[in-house]
């Protein structure tokens, strides 16, 4: 893989916050140790998440910042402002004294970008800021992350965000799963808890995470009731409902509806390390796109996961081999994660009977293929997770030869980014294991070409010529300032045209958004050097257009 900073001795990893974010960083952390065995890794987190970091392997030190206290101090004004200033000053001085040689900022927040600028660490990945306080994206992989989560572009991405961040840190080797420690005392706690369960069945222990982070990603309790009844009454399963105390309002109606001694509520009885132990002792987790999903694959327990509403399996799917992902097929999905939905029709595309049968298949190890005609691919695609020949997470559709009209674009972009950013040689024909030839043949018939890409190429050529003229003007000390201004305005107009083409043709959005981020990341004060950076960016855009068409055809 192409690497900017392969050698690391003293690493700072910034702002891993939520449980899922923390777990999804573990392949990056492990990979740094695999490639640099003697390096020290320090994690900087907000204070409320400090305890969670101590469950993660390969972390040498944890530094917590109390942002809540800082905000409260600022709210008091006067002396409070002084208190906040002194706290941050001491905090920055402490981090500076640790002499980090590499930092990866896994947060796009403005305050962490500014913090990195204050620390003066020589080698950076992820988000930072320039001397004037403007945020910068330090690597093209981090630019791809920002591009891929831009809502219009999500459907065209097939690279899991774990891999994107891993590559942002120049990490090639990794364990191909998430990681978390499970201690004997937590295992003992769960064993005693389960001994108190009034199970009469003696079949597989299945954990069900019924809660979700958003209402629109919450499968209806009536569906869970039917699903769990099928497990306990027809397949001899023992079911444990996980979650927090707040999720009991979702769980209690489910327990009442099933009305079976083979349903046990662990929600509210486990902290994060204890939940990890519970999942490790279980044979399967059934869930949505949740923190427990990431925790389950981290302890080696497979999952069957529903990616409802804004959740997208290619983006944040369960990062290990052999899991089942259900992705509803609906025109509005995956929807904008920041907008509510009052009619989540995607939920009806997955039936309790389908979920129960897939759960049993996965428990029995029968999940590498499905019977012909199983599940309408026009309503839901059922995937199996695997890793490709370069160690990148991918999804194999099991109930269809192709997953949607987006597939061919998605495949072309995957090959483009692995080639351009990673340096992985790409062959147009994929292996039978990763992409069946018949799928490409079927999809080929539904597309007339990569529409609009010739327009991007044409504007890129015109802009490249304009930059060459600008460079000549810069070298000519007698060139009129008005002419320099005209050329600058022309380039601004051409940039606007490129961005507008990406909005007009949604399948070009990832290409043009990467261009926009590259332009925003130009830095320096020498006019000729700035123009040279622009020239390189337009050349790269032209090259990517050519490769994208080749990988698409």
| CATH at residue 98 | 3.40.50.2000
| Domain final position from 384, 400, 416 | 400
- 356 or 445: which carries more pLDDT confidence? 356
Q: Does one domain contain both 87 and 147?
A: yes
Kindly state whether residue 175 falls inside one of the protein's structural domains: no
In this predicted structure, the answer to whether residue 440 has a pLDDT above a threshold of 60 is no
Look at residue 308 and tell me if it is in a domain: yes
pLDDT at position 133: 76
388 plus 414 within the same structural domain: no
Per-residue DSSP letters for 377-391?
Answer: TTTEEEEEEEE-TTS
487 vs 444, more confident: 487
pLDDT at 229: 98
Please report whether residue 245 resides in a domain. yes
**Per-residue model confidence as pLDDT tens digits over 216-227:** 999 999 999 999
Instruction: Verify that 505 and 367 share a domain, yes or no.
Output: no
Mean of pLDDT values over 20-37: 94
- Among residues 360, 331, 368, 336, the alpha carbon closest in space to that of 346 is found at 331
Structural domain range at position 529? 408-553
Q: Tell me how far the alpha carbon of residue 105 is from its chain's centroid.
A: 14
Chain segment 91-125, per-residue pLDDT in tens: 999 999 999 999 999 888 888 888 888 899 999 99
Q: Is 115 in the same domain as 30? A: yes
Contact predicate 314/404, CB 8 Å: no
Helices 453-475 & 509-520 angle (0-180, nearest 10)? 20
User: How confident is residue 444, by pLDDT bands cut at 50, 70 and 90?
Assistant: very low
Q: Quick check: is 58 in a domain?
A: yes
pTM of the model as a whole: 0.92
Predicted confidence at residue 445, as pLDDT, reads: 40
- Please list, in sequence order, all residues whose beta carbon lies within 8 angstroms of the beta carbon of residue 408, skipping any fewer than 6 positions away: 440, 443, 444, 447, 552
According to the model, what pLDDT value does residue 433 have? Answer: 42
Q: Do 378 and 343 sit in the same domain of this protein?
A: yes
Q: What pLDDT is stored for residue 402 in this prediction?
A: 66
Tell me what pLDDT residue 405 has.
61
Same domain, 64 and 99: yes
**What digits encode the pLDDT tens for the residues 456-492?**
999 999 999 999 999 999 999 999 999 999 999 999 9
User: Of the candidates 428, 368, 402, 405, which has an alpha carbon nearest to the alpha carbon of residue 507?
Assistant: 405
Note the pLDDT of residue 403: 55
**Residue percentage of the chain with pLDDT more than 70:** 95
**CA–CA gap between residue 360 and residue 357 (Å, rounded):** 5
- Helix (H, G, I), strand (E, B), or coil: what is residue 300? coil
- For residue 438, pLDDT beyond 70: no
pLDDT for 188 equals: 98
* Same-domain status, 394 and 451: no
CA distance 67 to 383: 40
Q: Are residues 81 and 162 in the same domain?
A: yes
501 occurs within a structural domain: yes
Counted domains in the chain: 3
Q: Poorest-confidence range of 12-26, 324-338, 350-364?
A: 12-26
Domain boundary among 379, 400, 421: 400
324 domain-assigned: yes
Has residue 323 been placed in a domain?
Answer: yes
Q: State the Cα–Cα distance between residues 436 and 369, nearest whole angstrom.
A: 13
Kindly state whether residue 417 falls inside one of the protein's structural domains: yes
| Residue 241 sits in the same domain as residue 338 | yes
Same domain, yes or no: 244 and 320: yes
Domain boundary among 365, 381, 400: 400
Q: How many other CB atoms are found less than 10 A from the CB of residue 42?
A: 18
The answer to whether 125 and 13 are in contact (CB under 8 A) is no
> Which of these, 131, 111, 89, lies nearest to 14 by C-alpha position?
111
Mean pLDDT over 82-99 rounds to: 93
156, 223: one domain:
no
User: Which tokens in the block code for residue 429?
Assistant: 């024909």
Q: How far apart are CA 294 and CA 317, in angstroms?
A: 8
- Indicate whether 353 and 441 sit together in one domain: no
């Amino acid at each position: 893989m192409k690497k900017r900073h392969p050698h690391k001795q003293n690493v700072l990893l910034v702002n891993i916050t939520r449980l899922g974010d923390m777990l999804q960083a573990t392949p990056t952390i492990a990979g740094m140790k695999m490639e640099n065995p003697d390096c020290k890794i320090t994690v900087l987190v907000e204070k409320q998440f400090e305890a969670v970091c101590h469950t993660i392997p390969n972390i040498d030190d944890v530094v917590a910042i109390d942002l809540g206290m800082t905000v409260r101090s600022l709210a008091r004004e006067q002396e409070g402002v002084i208190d906040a200033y002194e706290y941050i000053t001491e905090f920055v001085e402490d981090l500076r004294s640790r002499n980090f040689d590499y930092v990866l900022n896994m947060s796009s927040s403005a305050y962490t970008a500014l913090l990195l600028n204050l620390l003066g660490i020589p080698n950076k990945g992820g988000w930072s800021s320039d001397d004037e306080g403007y945020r910068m994206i330090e690597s093209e992989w981090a630019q791809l992350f920002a591009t891929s989560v831009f809502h219009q572009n999500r459907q065209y991405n097939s690279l899991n965000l774990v891999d994107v961040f891993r590559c942002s840190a120049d990490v090639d080797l990794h364990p191909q799963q998430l990681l978390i420690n499970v201690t004997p005392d937590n295992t003992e706690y769960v064993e005693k808890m389960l001994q108190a369960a009034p199970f009469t069945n003696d079949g597989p222990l299945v954990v069900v995470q019924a809660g979700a982070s958003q209402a629109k990603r919450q499968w209806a309790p009536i569906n869970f009731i039917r699903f769990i009844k099928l497990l306990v009454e027809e397949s001899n399963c023992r079911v444990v409902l996980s979650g927090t105390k707040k999720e009991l309002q979702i769980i209690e109606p489910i327990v009442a509806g099933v009305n079976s001694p083979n349903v046990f509520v662990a929600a509210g009885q486990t902290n994060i390390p204890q939940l990890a132990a519970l999942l490790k002792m279980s044979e399967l987790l059934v869930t949505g796109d949740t923190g427990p999903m990431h925790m389950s694959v981290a302890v080696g327990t497979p999952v069957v996961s529903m990616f409802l509403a804004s959740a997208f399996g290619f983006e944040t799917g369960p990062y290990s081999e052999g899991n089942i992902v259900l992705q509803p097929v609906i025109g509005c999905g995956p929807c904008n994660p920041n907008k509510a939905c009052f009619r989540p029709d995607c939920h009806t595309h997955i039936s309790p009977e389908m979920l129960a049968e897939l759960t049993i298949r996965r428990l029995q190890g029968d999940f590498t293929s499905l019977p012909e005609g199983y599940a309408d691919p026009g309503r839901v695609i059922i995937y199996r997770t695997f890793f490709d020949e370069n160690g990148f997470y991918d999804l194999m559709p099991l109930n269809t030869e192709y997953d949607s009209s987006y597939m061919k674009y998605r495949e072309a972009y995957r090959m483009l980014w692995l080639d351009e950013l990673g340096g992985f040689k790409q062959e147009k024909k994929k292996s039978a294991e990763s992409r069946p030839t018949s799928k490409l043949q079927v999809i080929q018939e539904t597309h007339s070409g990569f529409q609009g890409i010739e327009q991007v190429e044409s504007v890129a050529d015109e802009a490249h010529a304009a930059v060459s003229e600008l460079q000549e003007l810069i070298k000519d000390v007698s060139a009129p300032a008005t002419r320099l201004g005209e050329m600058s305005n022309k380039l601004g107009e051409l940039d606007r045209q490129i961005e507008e083409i990406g909005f007009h043709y949604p399948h070009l959005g990832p290409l043009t958004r990467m261009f926009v981020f590259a332009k925003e990341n130009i830095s320096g004060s020498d006019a000729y050097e700035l123009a040279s950076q622009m020239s390189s960016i337009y050349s790269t855009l032209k090259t990517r257009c050519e490769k994208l068409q080749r990988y698409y055809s």
